[in-house]
Structure 1
Amino acid sequence: MRIDSHQHFWEYNPKRQDWITPDMSRIRRNFLPGDLYPLLQDAKIDGCIAVQADESLRETDFLLDLAAQHEWILGVVGWADLGKDDLDEILDQYSSQEKLVGFREVLQSKDPRYMLREEFVRGIHKLKERGYAYDLLLFPQHLDAALELVKKCPEQRMVIDHLAKPLIKDGEWKDWKKKMALLAERELIYCKVSGMVTEADWKKWTPEDLFPYLEIALELFDPDRLMYGSDWPVCLVAAEFEQVYRVVDDFTSQLSSSEKDRIMGETAAEFYKM
């Protein structure tokens, strides 16, 4: 099975999607399942994981509603405030939602120490108790704190979104690799091969700009802990869906068929327990 492990849907609202800046005007509109499904079909991808892009329970409900209507939306990574005292009650409300496979918060917009607060760590433990995964949305400057979080929650499955957004446009990788390597030593930490084109030069990037980062990710995590994601529609500010898919498809052609299958879907299915 081939799976796009990371994409988004939204009904565009300039207040909710205030992170979409003027230079990202192409994605200032609605993006719904009818827009994505033909792209998945063309790439022979069987289904996707819909990931939150707004920090609200409304967003979680919105994605779960779409998943209920479309069987090819295989899972939802929703949002909840992990630090809230009533987190158990909130999670209880979603206990019957089989397609809710994990949670995420926009940690990249917060101080790195935010994720080390006692109440946040407590919330991660509650996710583990209920079998949910956790997506880490980070910048490189968050990686030290992320490692501390992982040490505090050693039994929690986590996946690093977008390779932690290395500075591809600047060609920087040495410090990023060193910090990613420490996280990769933890067997329950996975990594998404996604979001690279938006960290490169939007107008001038080439596959060769991305390959060094893919090679490092493969070296650190191996195919059993790597998963492909398009980051559609955010990727559209720099590349078409097909271009993003082609980069990873071409890169993984050097691997055995079983290794390629892991990255292109099997790892995601295993990680999200689908």
Structure 2
Amino acid sequence: MNLDPIATIIDAHLHVWDPSRGVYPWLGEHLAPVNRAMTLREVMPELTDRGVGAVVLVQSADAGFDTDLMFETARSHPEVAGVVGWVPLDLPAEAAGRLARLRDEPLFAGVRNLIHERADPDWILRPDVDAGLGLLEQAEVPFDFVAGGPQALATAAEVARRHPGLHLILDHLGAPPLDADSGQAQQWLHDLEVLAGHPRVYAKLSGLYLGPDPAGDRLRRAGSHIRAALRLFGSDRLMYGGDWPICLLHEPYGRTLDIVRHSLPDLDATGWHDILTATATRVYGIDLRRPASARP
């Protein structure tokens, strides 16, 4: 694949997993299409068709085996430009040791925990977890924040307030409402504006699934949300993510990219370069010029 950093599209949010390696508590028969090993090799033809030349693998389980699998995938796929792994943020001493080991990996790009799967919506604000986030802030390691529930954006803003030096990446644009509830949309926009006021917060244009939309109403709302994000963050704080294979529960790979392109018809070349390449490169510390022989 062509890894010219000017021409390469980076998919900043892609998963691989293998249930034979360990437990993914959220995965089961109710997610039958993806309740199996999902490998990068499977999606490679679609990435090629879409001009995606590099990907960031993002954690799928709060366990070490999942991060190990991503680094193993990287060793056989030079298309992997970064890995967002896991450390136990609620165990700061253990997190410090694991973080030190991960930082020895050339492709280590950031940390995520499945905070949206936890029963306590304020888990991320607990003192022990806050100490773990402090480790990331001190080490200048980005943190992917995945939203779950109506209070998630306000919670993310509180994390950003407590840790102004932390590079916080909002996954899936904070799950904006796509149905016709103006109150929810106004609250989401207000919370996103507050969050965007923190200069080290970024957002992924990912996970925007329209579902059945014969009249195009959800597409129009998605477009409005994407344009709001562009206005609030600027293109240099936005990045594209395809969210494969979760996207397969809703639509084929690449539909999110189509939605983003449709929503920003007037964006100039610099803006597209930011969203499709430069923001992820800068925030995750990606080096597209690193030869395959130098990868782990």
Partner secondary structure for residue 173 of structure 1 = helix
Indicate the residue corresponding to 1:178 in structure 2.
190
Indicate the residue corresponding to 1:72 in structure 2.
79
Partner secondary structure for residue 132 of structure 1 = coil
**d(CA) in 2 for partners of 1:209, 1:147:** 23
Measure how far apart 1:124 and its partner are: 1.3
Partner secondary structure for residue 187 of structure 1 = coil
Task: Report sequence identity in percent.
Answer: 26
Structural RMSD (CA): 1.9
Indicate the residue corresponding to 2:103 in structure 1.
95
> Which runs of 5 or more residues in structure 1 are unaligned?
none
Partner secondary structure for residue 91 of structure 1 = helix
**What amino acid is aligned across from residue 15 of structure 2 in structure 1?**
H
Indicate the residue corresponding to 2:124 in structure 1.
115
> Which runs of 5 or more residues in structure 2 are unaligned?
1-7, 287-296
Q: Is 1:49 the counterpart of 2:61 in the alignment? A: no
Indicate the residue corresponding to 1:126 in structure 2.
135
Is residue 181–residue 220 contact of structure 1 (8 Å, CA) maintained in 2? yes
Provide Cα deviations, 1:29-77, integer angstroms capped at 9, x if missing partner.
2211111221111111110100001110111111111112211110000
Superposed, which structure 2 residues align to 1:1-274 within 5 Å? 1-12=8-19, 16-20=23-27, 22-84=29-91, 85-110=93-118, 111-139=120-148, 140-171=150-181, 172-197=184-209, 200=210, 202-204=211-213, 206=216, 207-274=219-286
**What amino acid is aligned across from residue 128 of structure 1 in structure 2?**
E
**d(CA) in 1 for partners of 2:75, 2:55:** 13
Is residue 157–residue 188 contact of structure 1 (8 Å, CA) maintained in 2? yes
**d(CA) in 1 for partners of 2:268, 2:180:** 32
Partner secondary structure for residue 109 of structure 2 = strand
Measure how far apart 1:257 and its partner are: 0.7
**What amino acid is aligned across from residue 156 of structure 1 in structure 2?**
L
**d(CA) in 2 for partners of 1:102, 1:235:** 22
Partner secondary structure for residue 17 of structure 1 = coil
Is residue 227–residue 264 contact of structure 2 (8 Å, CA) maintained in 1? no
Provide Cα deviations, 1:222-273, integer angstroms capped at 9, x if missing partner.
1010100011110111111132221123333420011111111111111101
Measure how far apart 1:212 and its partner are: 1.6
Measure how far apart 1:164 and its partner are: 1.1
**d(CA) in 2 for partners of 1:79, 1:10:** 14
**What amino acid is aligned across from residue 163 of structure 1 in structure 2?**
L
Give the 3 Å change call, closer, same or farther, for CA 233–98 of structure 1 in structure 2.
same
Measure how far apart 1:131 and its partner are: 2.6
Is residue 252–residue 260 contact of structure 1 (8 Å, CA) maintained in 2? no
**d(CA) in 1 for partners of 2:71, 2:180:** 38
TM-score (norm 2): 0.86
**d(CA) in 2 for partners of 1:50, 1:169:** 30
**d(CA) in 2 for partners of 1:232, 1:156:** 26
TM-score (norm 1): 0.92
**What amino acid is aligned across from residue 32 of structure 1 in structure 2?**
T
Measure how far apart 1:87 and its partner are: 1.9
Number of residue equivalences: 271
**d(CA) in 2 for partners of 1:168, 1:133:** 28
**d(CA) in 1 for partners of 2:175, 2:26:** 16
Q: Mean Cα displacement is larger for which, 15-24 or 135-144?
A: 15-24
**d(CA) in 2 for partners of 1:13, 1:141:** 35
Measure how far apart 1:109 and its partner are: 2.2
**d(CA) in 2 for partners of 1:57, 1:9:** 14
Measure how far apart 1:137 and its partner are: 0.5
Give the 3 Å change call, closer, same or farther, for CA 203–17 of structure 1 in structure 2.
farther
Is residue 238–residue 275 contact of structure 2 (8 Å, CA) maintained in 1? yes
Is residue 203–residue 238 contact of structure 1 (8 Å, CA) maintained in 2? no
Is residue 103–residue 134 contact of structure 1 (8 Å, CA) maintained in 2? yes
Give the 3 Å change call, closer, same or farther, for CA 15–99 of structure 1 in structure 2.
closer
Provide Cα deviations, 1:210-230, integer angstroms capped at 9, x if missing partner.
212111211211101010001
Partner secondary structure for residue 151 of structure 2 = helix
